Every structure is written in structure tokens, then in C-alpha cells.
Structure 1
Amino acid sequence: MSAPDIILSARQLTKRFSGFTAVNGVDLDVERGTIHALIGPNGAGKTTCFNLLTKFLQPSAGTIKFNGRDITSMAPAAIARLGVVRSFQISAVFPRMSVLENVRIALQRRRGDSFDFWRNQKVLNDYDAEARERIEEVGLTEFISETAGELSYGRKRALEIATTLALEPEMLLLDEPMAGMAQEDVSRISALIRRIAAKRTILMVEHNLSVVADLSDRITVLARGEVLAEGPYETVSKDPRVVEAYIGAGHG
């Protein structure tokens, strides 16, 4: 059996805040082409770990590699250019602009044209074909002319994912994609994540365990800033330490 193809790896990842260690010696391997979930009770260090991996925080110790390249000291914009993009970090959802215009702006950003609103209409229209592809990919074609601010919450999140896909990420990092969603939207976004994962690697932090069980190929459980367990959901969910960590933590 061949060795797994690891796209993102962290070794001894640690973050200290004035005497408090939020993440302590975390080792993580994300296999290419999978959906990998980072879960844990409140206060487990998930958000801090996620912010370290996406370079919104600089680690106190440890290393992070993407495609074998050390990205530990890189800025978020630099790793985005390499193909590691955190969804919602752009949040290029301009509420008064249409769905098409929002995705078109994200495409301009990727190609280095940024926010050149004064460009002539022909140049802008050149982005339309690809923008329509991204919009179709997230299931928003029928809302293409709608103003972003008038979309439902779940469809706004889908639009945010479309703007992220415009940057052509090889790896997409999703920070609680289901937060605050009604069940109908959860089902829609779950189906969307599965669809876009066909061509990409996804790492997500998610509280909704039924979503994690349904979508994830592999799960890493954090507790008190350390890796408590790792593996497929069926195995991890039956681990007595994981059960105890969730029950012991309560909902606080």
C-alpha cells in the first residue's frame, strides 16, 4: 500500500498567549483529496489551531508545510497565492452588488486587476464566463442577477464560497461553514461542500457533529489544545476519551 499523499502537515504546532498555552504540540496531516474535520469541545483550541494553519496567527513553535513547502512564516495572502484559501477570509459579498458582480470582483483580484471599478464594460464582461461557472458550481445560477444583500443566509454563504473558488484554491479551509444555519441551509451547504470537494482538499472546523459524520473522511479531535484522537468518524466517535471530553465539557 502506497504512503498517503499529504497536502498539509503541521508538526508540534504550539501557540502561547501570555502564559496560557492554547495549542500544545499538535501534529496534523491532511491527505490530498479528502474532507478533514477539526472538532472538539468548547475551549479545545480549534479556532486557534485553524488561525495558525491559515496564518492569521503566527505559531510560538512548530512548523506548517503545504505541498512539502514550509509556510510557517508566510502571510495569509502569500499562502493564498500558493493555493491555500480560507473561506470567508475574503467575504467579498458586497450587499448592494449582484451575485455575478461579486464573483467577478473576486476573479479580478486573482488576476491582479483587484478592484478596478473604472475598467470598461468589455474588460469586465471578459470575466463573466468564468464567474458563471463558479456561480453554477455553488448552485446560485437562478440568483445570478439578485442583489447579494437580498439572498438568504445560506445562499450568502454559498456566494462567499463562490468568491473563494474564484481564487482557484487547491485547498479550502472552512471555518464553521454551518454556523447559524437552518436545517434546510445546512443540507444545501453540505451538498455543496461534497460537490466542491470532488476536485479539492477541504479542512473544516465544524460544531455540527451530524455534518461532520456525514461529510468527513477523517477527523482530528482536539481537547485542551492537544490532539485527543484521530481517524474516521465511526472510530473516533466511539473513543471513550472523546465521549468523556464532550460530556465533561458540557456546553460552556
Structure 2
Amino acid sequence: MDSVSDVPYIVEASGLTKEFKGFAAVKNVDLRIRRHTIHALIGPNGAGKTTCFNLITKFLEPTRGTIKLNGRDITRTPPADVARLGMVRSFQISATFPHLTVLENVRIALQRPIGNSFHFWQSEKSLDALNDRAMELIADVDLTQYAKHLAVELPYGRKRALEIATTLALEPEMLLLDEPTSGMGREDIARTADLIKRVSANRTILMVEHNLSVVANLSDRITVLARGEILTEGPYAEVSKNPQVIEAYMGTGGAH
């Protein structure tokens, strides 16, 4: 069945609006995310990025508008069901267990059908069968040397890498990343950006990101929000020259 991959846009949001007590945090946003691209959502503080992201990931219900995933209307579909359809928000299902090792965390993610059921009671032997796949995922996020470390002992940037590994265990078609480099030093930012690039192979990624150099290096397409509305959209070279974008970012700290 090829019909799904024939739809060029994995996500299509139309007229997306979210009002909080009469205040429109997001106003009439149309967003189309092309399959197998990295799409960034950027904008100054208060632009509506997080609200828009929460609407698309189904953590908020829109006041008005529709969201389609692979041509299917998911506007009223609960987040766990959307995850089953292949759209997974990292740090949503992937909250790690601090006092288990990296390997144990990834193994648990591999056992779990998407949803809320855990299979803690499986025998150690059946868990061992998951080790090879778990170690592959751990290698994918460059954590092999940390496999036996407790999650709580990991440096901050490596914790985020573990969260991405547990998300990848769910084999998402689309990965949604909320501020993936937030709070990181330069070395961690570079490593995380490289990781995002690697895991984007054959996947679609939507990310909210404040670091414009990360956005410039990774994104195929960028949507700029300001005051809850789309200011402009396009590749970084085009968007970064837009006078309204330059003005919107001036003095906001967004250009760092």
C-alpha cells in the first residue's frame, strides 16, 4: 500500500487557532510538513511556537482548525493514539527511569507497545533477546560507552541522547523535538545537532528550536511565528534575510 507515501506532506494543519480566555496564542496557522525533511518552528519569545507545537503533538486541543497526519484527520485523536500512528514527541513517552541503566531504559522502551502498558514482569531471558536491538539504538545515539551507567549519572546532553534513543525504540515515522539543545553547552549542542541529522534518515522531524545556528545547519524548511501568526516560511537563507524576521528577533535574544 503506497497511498500514504504518495501524500507529500506528512502533517497538514489548516486554520489552527488556540484561544485562552479570549486571547489567541495561535491564530489561523496553516502548516505543511513535507515527508523526510527537518522542519523548524522558530520565533521570538511569546510567538506561539510552544502552543503550536503542543497543538500538533496533541497535548492541546485547538479552538478551531484541523490537523491531518498522512491525510488522516487527527484533530481530536488522543496523543497515545497519534503515537501509534507513528508521530512521537520526544520527551513525551521517553521520560527515562533515573535509577536504571541506559541499556535497561532502552530495553523497556523496546518492550512497550506504544501506549501505557509496561511489561516489567517478563523473564530476564526474554529481555536478553532485546539486548542486540537496544545496543544498536544506543550506538545510534553515541552512548555505547555509557550502556551500563545509570541514567541519573549521565551528563545533561547525554540524557537527552538517551531520551531520543528511547523514542527511536518506538520506531516513529515522525519525530517531534521540543527545544532539543536547550540548556546545553557548545560541545553538547554540536553533538545533539549531529545526532538529529543522523536520526532524520528516512524520518520526518519537526523541532522547536531557539538556537538559530542549529536551525540554519539542520533545517530544510523553517516556519517563523510572531504574535501567534506565521510571519514567513522558507529555507534559512531566505528567511534570515526577511526584514520582518530580523526586526522580530532584534533585542529578543532569539538570534544567539
* Rounded Cα–Cα distance in structure 1 between residues aligned with 2:233 and 2:18: 20
112 and 15 in structure 1: CA distance in 2 versus 1, 3 angstrom threshold? closer
Deviation at 1:114, TM superposition (A): 3.5
Would the aligned equivalents of 1:105 and 1:114 in 2 still touch at CA under 8 Å? no
Instruction: Indicate yes or no: 2:24 matched with 1:21.
Output: yes
User: What residue is the counterpart of 1:195 in the other structure?
Assistant: 198
Would the aligned equivalents of 2:221 and 2:235 in 1 still touch at CA under 8 Å? yes
Would the aligned equivalents of 1:52 and 1:58 in 2 still touch at CA under 8 Å? yes
Deviation at 1:112, TM superposition (A): 7.5
User: What residue is the counterpart of 1:30 in the other structure?
Assistant: 33
Deviation at 1:4, TM superposition (A): 8.1
User: What residue is the counterpart of 1:43 in the other structure?
Assistant: 46
Equivalent residue of 2:65, what SS? strand
Would the aligned equivalents of 1:110 and 1:166 in 2 still touch at CA under 8 Å? no
Using the size of structure 2 for normalisation, the TM-score is 0.94
* Rounded Cα–Cα distance in structure 2 between residues aligned with 1:111 and 1:34: 24
Deviation at 1:127, TM superposition (A): 1.5
User: What residue is the counterpart of 1:100 in the other structure?
Assistant: 103
1:212 to 208, 215, 224: 215
User: What residue is the counterpart of 2:132 in the other structure?
Assistant: 129
Q: Deviations over 1:35-71 (max 9, x none)?
A: 0000000000000000000000000000001110011
Deviation at 1:122, TM superposition (A): 0.9
Instruction: Indicate yes or no: 2:64 matched with 1:61.
Output: yes
1:243 to 210, 222, 246: 246
Instruction: Indicate yes or no: 2:79 matched with 1:76.
Output: yes
Letter in 1 for 2:212: L
Letter in 2 for 1:24: K
Written as runs of structure 1 = structure 2, the 5 A alignment for 1:87-236 is 87-110=90-113, 114-236=117-239
Letter in 2 for 1:98: T
User: How many pairs are equivalent?
Assistant: 249
RMSD: 1.6
Using the size of structure 1 for normalisation, the TM-score is 0.95
247 and 6 in structure 1: CA distance in 2 versus 1, 3 angstrom threshold? same
Query: After TM superposition, where is structure 1 displaced by more than 6 Å over at least 4 residues in a row?
Result: none
Letter in 1 for 2:74: I
96 and 122 in structure 1: CA distance in 2 versus 1, 3 angstrom threshold? same
Which structure 2 residue ranges, 5 or more long, are not aligned? 1-5
Would the aligned equivalents of 1:108 and 1:114 in 2 still touch at CA under 8 Å? no
Which structure 1 residue ranges, 5 or more long, are not aligned? none
Would the aligned equivalents of 2:11 and 2:32 in 1 still touch at CA under 8 Å? yes
Would the aligned equivalents of 1:194 and 1:215 in 2 still touch at CA under 8 Å? yes
